[in-house]
Structure 1
């Protein structure tokens, strides 16, 4: 019979040895962990050296990553002696410290696409979002992203919309999806259909419309009705599709009423969404991976990408660039807008404040340029903002080290693709975005839709050197400026 005292002290010894070995085992000895969680294959690195590989299982298990993520997982570890030890672990927090990017430099490897079973549920069910109305192109792209998430959530094929050109009347200057984004790549993400095919399948009458004002607590009904008439006229003009008379439309005045309108369309084959930005406040479930997949596939046309690649080899002798987007409506209005001719004392103070902010941003960019061995600063501005002024303010601080360039310098390279569109603000803006998307460092304005599109894109592609002037530079104050 075993001596109880011997057994007792042996157990204590085992516990003590286990406590000493635990951090070694889980931080150094084990070389692999496998989790079945995400909708596509990816690699993350948690802790100091534990490698985590994720395998495809389907959308219902999708997890969004925001610096760290909780997983229900089975952890399989392989010690250095090649014997296998399996532990069933409950909820485990893993910090994302490194991205693995085997294709198109996306942070989670192969970009997320809508799974086959969900694509089947989306067939013969369509969502057409009218994004072509008030606001510039990037406001329309913002609405497109909202519509994409709703199409995925509601199991619907997305009708590819068209966009409105820069500063043209409502009925003029329309640009197709195909002229803006690469349709072949986007179709890898989710099922889509053209506006013409939508008309063939759903016209000439559609009775299911969802429309909601983002400011429902301050709704002014006549403004909503006027907006609806404008959008329904556009749908009729472009697609020859009649939407319901305004008297038949429910204008929700609360979030609950908005969901009720959405629920009523769940079984409809064809749905029109008016002004998707009104639904921006809605937080749809399981959208984190959809958001990454959307950004990874919503890429610009091959023409723009080829032009940008060529330009970057010549612009700074092939050296890395720092992209800077400056958008400030105060400067636009005071310099060339309706306040320019007015004897408005506000502009003197506001412009002086604005100049100070540009110079302080320039100081940050000078430091970042030294850290990242930047060859040039590329400044993208709204066409209304005088580029020479912004360049002058930055150069006063950087002393032209690095050199400060704009789209004018790009045009002077006489790239044949750029020469064709040099007077087209829509194309030029897209080219500036592509250059900033590929820059080693990007500094943007968080309140601008132009910058926000790039923040999302660069995050999806794992380009971490991205800074929001309104958030990441705490010494700057924007209380007296609006963007």
Structure 2
């Protein structure tokens, strides 16, 4: 038995040892990781209240716990119309959604296979636009497949990481664009048949992952294996492919890679029609309009989407890269952020708008400090500054829906400044341009057109 003072001495030595070990452990982390922790945890929790994993530097990095699983629309049906908004929301569940019939001719389905291995939700929306374009040109009925949480904040397949089509887009408005079908309808008609899968820029491994981990176990849809997919070169026209599959009932469309970045960006009447038809769900529009009317006490504001890719490839959330010094990359991005901020504030002053709304990921919040050196912080608003009614808090606790709400806020802005390279920004820009609203690209605005893809 040790005397009491011996236990005290042992406790003190143990405590000192632990503190020294912690200091050594933290000091050995790269400055890149330390910066990620600083702006991903302290500032993130302070500004937004969003729960974040303590082990920020691990491969999975920031994790936002989803609040709703697939087929569960956020319950806003009990919103008090008098106290919050003039429009009372009564969301329709997926099973209750009805579509116009195709009684005259047999239904020919088009199933979008949106790869959920590369890119976030807005990249999946871009793939959806490709599928809608194909369906319009080939007179097919679009199957409403869901979206998967697969941005920088969370990866992997599970039911609670899937968000339904109708909680993302307005089904009634989409149905005015083209005929629609539910997943159950596709299963009923096609699961016992062999679907023909068409693919541009085909990645067999990605397709197999999505087929095995999403379509079969979660959605219940049978798709052929990768070796039975029909890969197509980029120069194939939609009309030509549509003619070849005219007599087939069940067609799935898989699009990926370079094809997404070129052909779908055709600026024609079809693209404008798609941008107008793919409107955010009514609940999203109501929440977004509520805040856009209040952000600047009803006066005009400028929305700025800042997305430096410091936390993404090649420095994926603090993982050091052999070819790129992530610490050096962070310094370079900060210089670009200073230049970009000068241009943003100049435009705010020139256009005489009252406020600046900044939409950015948690790991990019340093932009607020940089902007605050150039204009009053009280005139800069981020999501964490908003006074959110209890009825709307579910939209701010789920990162997927928060992104949609912020896109809606950006859509309503007097002026929108898009990120240099961003599917998030492109989605907002397409909607704004379809209604003649002004949008600037930060690279062009700040003279940063020669900056590499992975910077701003």
> Separation in 2 of the partners of 1:343 and 1:252?
35
Residue from 149, 158, 170 that aligns with 2:157: 170
Residue number in structure 2 paired with 1:407: 383
**SS class of match (1:317):** coil
Unaligned runs of 5+ in 2: 1-101
- Does the alignment pair 1:314 with 2:294? yes
The higher relative CO (CA closer than 8 Å, separation ≥ 6) is in 2
- Does the alignment pair 1:478 with 2:451? yes
**SS class of match (2:293):** helix
Residue number in structure 2 paired with 1:423: 397
- Does the alignment pair 1:368 with 2:344? no
> Separation in 1 of the partners of 2:188 and 2:295?
47
Residue number in structure 2 paired with 1:460: 434
**SS class of match (2:145):** coil
- Does the alignment pair 1:291 with 2:271? yes
Residue from 395, 406, 411 that aligns with 1:437: 411
| Contact 2:308/2:364 (8 A) holds in 1 | no
> Separation in 1 of the partners of 2:283 and 2:265?
36
- Alpha-carbon displacement from aligned partner over 1:161-216 (angstroms, at most 9, x marks no partner): 100025241234100011111111111111111111222232322231112316xx
| Contact 1:308/1:431 (8 A) holds in 2 | yes
> Separation in 1 of the partners of 2:252 and 2:384?
41
- Alpha-carbon displacement from aligned partner over 1:370-421 (angstroms, at most 9, x marks no partner): 23221211111123x241x110011112344x711111012xx122332123
- Does the alignment pair 1:126 with 2:113? no
- Alpha-carbon displacement from aligned partner over 1:122-174 (angstroms, at most 9, x marks no partner): 86111001115222101100100111101111111111110002524123410
| Contact 1:331/1:354 (8 A) holds in 2 | no
Structure in which a larger fraction of residues adopt strand: 1
Structure in which a larger fraction of residues adopt helix: 2
Q: With structure 1 as the length reference, what TM-score do the two structures score?
A: 0.65
Residue from 338, 344, 348 that aligns with 2:318: 338
> Separation in 2 of the partners of 1:368 and 1:211?
43
Correspondence 1:223-302 to 2 at 5 A: 224-233=203-212, 234-252=214-232, 255=235, 263-275=243-255, 279-280=259-260, 283=263, 288-302=268-282
- Does the alignment pair 1:395 with 2:372? yes
> Separation in 2 of the partners of 1:472 and 1:212?
34
Q: CA, structure 1 residues 399+264, in 2 after alignment: closer, same or farther (shift >3 Å)? A: same
| Contact 2:112/2:143 (8 A) holds in 1 | yes
**SS class of match (2:356):** strand
> Separation in 2 of the partners of 1:292 and 1:333?
32
**SS class of match (1:324):** strand
- Alpha-carbon displacement from aligned partner over 1:323-362 (angstroms, at most 9, x marks no partner): 111112225579982247x999833432232222222222
Residue number in structure 1 paired with 2:424: 450
- State the Cα distance separating 1:287 from its structure 2 match: 7.4
Unaligned runs of 5+ in 1: 1-118, 215-223
Residue from 112, 126, 131 that aligns with 1:147: 131
**SS class of match (1:314):** coil
Q: With structure 2 as the length reference, what TM-score do the two structures score?
A: 0.68
RMSD: 3.2
> Separation in 2 of the partners of 1:292 and 1:131?
21
Q: How many residues align?
A: 349
> Separation in 1 of the partners of 2:268 and 2:103?
21
Question: Which portions of structure 1, spanning 4 or more consecutive aligned residues, are displaced by more than 6 angstroms?
Answer: 119-123, 257-261, 284-287, 333-336, 342-345
Highest Rg: 1 or 2?
1
| Contact 2:418/2:441 (8 A) holds in 1 | yes
- Alpha-carbon displacement from aligned partner over 1:246-285 (angstroms, at most 9, x marks no partner): 4433444674599986653222122011235564377489
> Separation in 2 of the partners of 1:285 and 1:331?
27
Residue number in structure 2 paired with 1:33: none
> Separation in 1 of the partners of 2:335 and 2:368?
13
- Does the alignment pair 1:159 with 2:148? no
| Contact 2:200/2:255 (8 A) holds in 1 | yes
- Alpha-carbon displacement from aligned partner over 1:217-245 (angstroms, at most 9, x marks no partner): xxxxxxx3323322332333344443334
- Does the alignment pair 1:204 with 2:195? no
> Separation in 2 of the partners of 1:271 and 1:463?
36
> Separation in 1 of the partners of 2:346 and 2:103?
51
